Amino acid sequence: MPVRIFLLLLTLILLSGCQSTHSEHTPDEHLNGHSTPVAHFEPDQPLPALPTPYTSDDVWQRIRMQLSFASSTHPRVLKRVNWYLQHPKYMHTISDRARPYLYYLVNEVERRGLPIELALMPLIESDFNAQAYSEKHASGLWQLTPLIAKHYGVTINPWFDGRQDLLQSTQAALDFLVYLHKRFDGDWYHAIAAYNTGEGRVATAIARNRKAGKPTDFFSLSLPKQTRHYVPKLLAAAALLKQQRMHFPAIDNQPAFTQLALDKAVILPDQHDWAELEVLNPGFRRFPVLLNGPGHVLVPTARTQEWQLAANEFQALPDSRWQQVVVRRGDSLSRIAGQHNVSVSELRQFNQLNSDMIRIGQTLLLPSREEKLDYVVKRGDSLWRIAKQFGVTVKDLKRWNQRDNNRLQLGETLAIHLSAP
C-alpha cells in the first residue's frame, strides 16, 4: 500500500475515535448554541421527610391525614358544606374553644384505634363548649345524659359534674361509641346516629326498612330531623378539612395540659390566676372550690411547675359531711327527698337502692348540701373581698361569725358556709 494512502486512513481512524469519545462524555451539550447543565446527585443524601400525623405542627392537619370515612355527595352533606363555607368565621370560634382539648381527644381516639372522625364529634355536639347544657339535661363537650354518664362511671354529685370533665367525659363517650359500633354490626354511621338519638330509634328504623325491602344505610332511614342532619354535619366538616376548602386555624400538636394529683378538697387562693384552671376543669361546679372531684386537676403545660408548687400550699377543706336519716312510719323516698332538698334519684344512688321501697327503721345516708370552711384572714383581706372570692354575701359572713362591723384582724378565723349549687 502506498505510504500516502496509509497515512490518510490512519488520520481518518484517529478523528473518528476523538468524535466518539467526545459524544460519550458530553451528550446533548450543544442545543441552540447553549450548553445544558448536568445534575449531580449524592446517593447518600436523604430526601426531606414528609410530615406525618405525629410530626405535623397542627392538630387539625394531624386529623386531616387520617380521615377515613368515604366522601359523600348526598344533598344533606352538601347543604351543610355550603353552610360552613358561608360562615368562614365559625371555624375560628371552634378552634379557639377546642385549643385546650383537641390534642387530648385525638390522642385518645388514636390510642383506641378508632376512626379519627370521632375526635370531631364535640364540634357537632357542643361546638366545643365544655359547659354546654341542653334542655334534655345533656352536658359537656360530648353532651352526655346523666343516665349514660353514670352507666360509664362518670362522677356526678352536687359539687362535681364529670360530664364537663375532659378526661371522664371523653372516656365515657368513646366507651359508648365502641358499644354502639358493635351493636350495629360495625356501621359507624348507624353508631353515630344512635349516639345522638338513642339505639332504640335507630334499630327500629333499620328493622322497618328491612321489613319493607328498603335499603338500611343511614341516609335511607326515617329518623328524627336532628339526627338526619347530625351525621351529615360531621361528614361535611371532615370533607372541608380533608379537601382543605376551609381554613381551620392551627392548634399546636402538643399537650395543652398536665394532670396533677389532687388528693384533698381545696379552695384555690385568690392570689393565683385560677381562671385558667376553670377552663381546663369545668367539672367543678363551685369554682374556686375543688370538692368531691376525680382526684386530679388539669393545669396548663407551660405552667406545670408553678402550679405544682402552688398546689402544695392550697388550704384543705374538711371532708364531705353526711347526714343519717332513720325511716319512720309514713315516710317515702319522695317525702324524705323533699325534706332534705335532694332528688329521689340521688337518694337511690347514694344508698345503692334498686327500687323506691324502704322500710321502717332503715338508715339512709344524705349528702350535706353545705360545707363549712374555716378561713384564716390574710394581709389585705376585707369582708367584701372574702365574700366575693367565695361567692357569698358580706351580710352572711357577718351572720355566720356573729359580728356587727366590718373590721378584721390578721390571723383570725372566719366561718364560711358553702352551699352546693
Task: Classify residue 262: in a domain, yes or no.
Answer: yes
CA–CA distance, 45 with 79 (Å, rounded to integer): 49
Q: What is the pLDDT of residue 31?
A: 36
Which one of 213, 243, 273 terminates a domain? 243
Q: How far is CA 358 from CA 54, 265, 323, 330, 345, in A?
A: 56, 33, 17, 11, 14
* Residue 132 and residue 215 in one domain: yes
Least confident interval from 23-27, 169-173, 229-233:
23-27
Q: What is the pLDDT of residue 45?
A: 64
Task: Classify residue 186: in a domain, yes or no.
Answer: yes
Q: Which residues contact 19 (CB under 8 A, 6 or more apart)?
A: none
3-class SS at 44? coil
Q: What is the pLDDT of residue 405?
A: 87
Complete DSSP assignment for 203-239:
HHHHHHHHHTT---SGGGS---HHHHHHHHHHHHHHH
Catalytic residue numbers?
125
CA–CA distance, 347 with 334 (Å, rounded to integer): 9
* Residue 223 and residue 90 in one domain: yes
**pLDDT 10s digits, 371-400:** 677 788 888 888 888 888 787 888 888 888
Q: What is the pLDDT of residue 2?
A: 55
* Residue 111 and residue 210 in one domain: yes
The pLDDT confidence band at residue 341, using thresholds 50, 70 and 90, is confident
pLDDT greater at residue 421 or residue 208 = 208
Which one of 211, 243, 275 terminates a domain? 243
**pLDDT 10s digits, 66-98:** 999 999 999 999 999 999 999 989 999 999 999
pTM of the model: 0.70
* Residue 355 and residue 227 in one domain: no
Q: What is the pLDDT of residue 24?
A: 42
* Residue 173 and residue 281 in one domain: no
CA–CA distance, 148 with 267 (Å, rounded to integer): 30
* Residue 395 and residue 331 in one domain: no
Ramachandran bin of 261, using left for φ above 0, alpha for ψ from -120 to 50, beta for the remaining angles: beta
Count how many domains the chain has.
Answer: 4
* Residue 326 and residue 307 in one domain: no
Burial class (CB within 10 angstroms; exposed 0-12, middle 13-18, buried 19+) of 117: buried
Task: Classify residue 350: in a domain, yes or no.
Answer: yes
Q: Can you give the residue range of the structural domain that contains 216?
A: 59-243
* 146-148-151 Cα angle (round to 5): 105
Q: Which residues contact 139 (CB under 8 A, 6 or more apart)?
A: 131, 132, 133, 161, 163, 164
User: What is the residue-averaged pLDDT of the chain?
Assistant: 85
CA–CA distance, 141 with 151 (Å, rounded to integer): 18
Q: What is the pLDDT of residue 34?
A: 47
Task: Classify residue 47: in a domain, yes or no.
Answer: no
Q: Is beta strand 289-290 parallel, antiparallel or unpaired with respect to 266-267?
A: antiparallel
Q: What is the pLDDT of residue 25?
A: 42
Q: Which residues contact 11 (CB under 8 A, 6 or more apart)?
A: none
Element housing 337 (H / E) = helix 333-339
Q: What is the pLDDT of residue 270?
A: 63
* Residue 203 and residue 100 in one domain: yes
Task: Classify residue 91: in a domain, yes or no.
Answer: yes
pLDDT greater at residue 250 or residue 134 = 250
Task: Classify residue 46: in a domain, yes or no.
Answer: no
Task: Classify residue 73: in a domain, yes or no.
Answer: yes
CATH number of the domain encompassing residue 347: 3.10.350.10
Least confident interval from 125-139, 199-213, 295-309, 375-389:
375-389
Element housing 259 (H / E) = strand 257-261
Residue 275 has pLDDT above 70, yes or no: yes
